[in-house]
Structure 1
Amino acid sequence: MNSRIYSRTETPIGEIYIVIEEQLLSAVYIGEEDFLVGEEEFQLKFDPSNPLLKKCKLQLDEYFKGERKEFNLPVDPQGTIFQRSVWKELSLIPFGETRSYQDIALKIGKEKAVRAIGQANKANRLPIIIPCHRVIGKNKSLTGYAGTRTDIKEKLLFLEGARFKS
């Protein structure tokens, strides 16, 4: 059985749950509700002393203090080839900048896949680390984040000093 452990940390956007598997970051959940929907807690071991979990918590803390602009963590983004290509492109969006869903579609050579880009964003199990919050509407408006949680997207983009329409 795979070694899956987790910890949690309090942030300006609420409690964040961090899950690692085989010493790779496998999921970040914003809020207990998302964590309980996304994981079977009895299959996880709570271990806040794990070095990788501590490193992730430290980097998230630095990010929320405005001291960190990119993350340096071993990640394991599980998804389709298409989803991984989207997430790779999201990882290239600099701190404080945004791209539209159309921009991402063009970058990965799938200009008609705008809705699929949105679905790949929604399937991202490593929000903040893989910055899906930096993808906004072509008109600079905030569109769905983790479904309908644009308030979180707004807080993250505000923290980064990104330009958008609220």
Structure 2
Amino acid sequence: MENLTSNIIAAVGVLVTGTFSYFVWKATNATAQVANATFELSKELAQKEDNRREEYKRIMRRQLLSVISKESKIVYDAVVDIDPMNILMKLRDAPVYLSINKTELAEYFSVDEVATIIKAWETYESYRTKYYKETYRGNELKLLLEKNQPVIIHFEELKDKLNNIEI
């Protein structure tokens, strides 16, 4: 009888262990399914966030490109003239600096694009500092015409670059 009792206890132990093992397996399987679904959802959310960032970058790039083009055209039109008095009058209304800072340029444009933009504007700023004045003596006014070629060249390069930028 003792042997039978031991066998019954052993059988009940195996049955209970098997039942618990089954429930642990089911719980582990369910947890794995939840983890997999959570992972897939996280991937989808990350992709949507990447898409949102890329769209924001395109929008910002388009807006900044518009500002750069507009301000650059004003500068170019100001310095391209055959009469120094016309250049002087146009420079009075032209921007002194590009209204977009270098950090924004670097964030939304390629290194090559940024280099072209900065080179044109630095050339213009240097020209303006050296030759634009409120009052002129003697032949100083002619310098606006005689020294405008580097500005014209760099802004023509910038115009070409801006026309070829993809958004």
Could you say which TM-score interval applies, normalised by the shorter chain?
under 0.3
The higher radius of gyration belongs to 2
Structure number having the greater strand percentage: 1
Structure number having the greater helix percentage: 2
TM-score by length of 2: 0.24
TM-score by length of 1: 0.24
Greater length-normalized contact order (CA 8 Å, ≥ 6 residues apart): 2
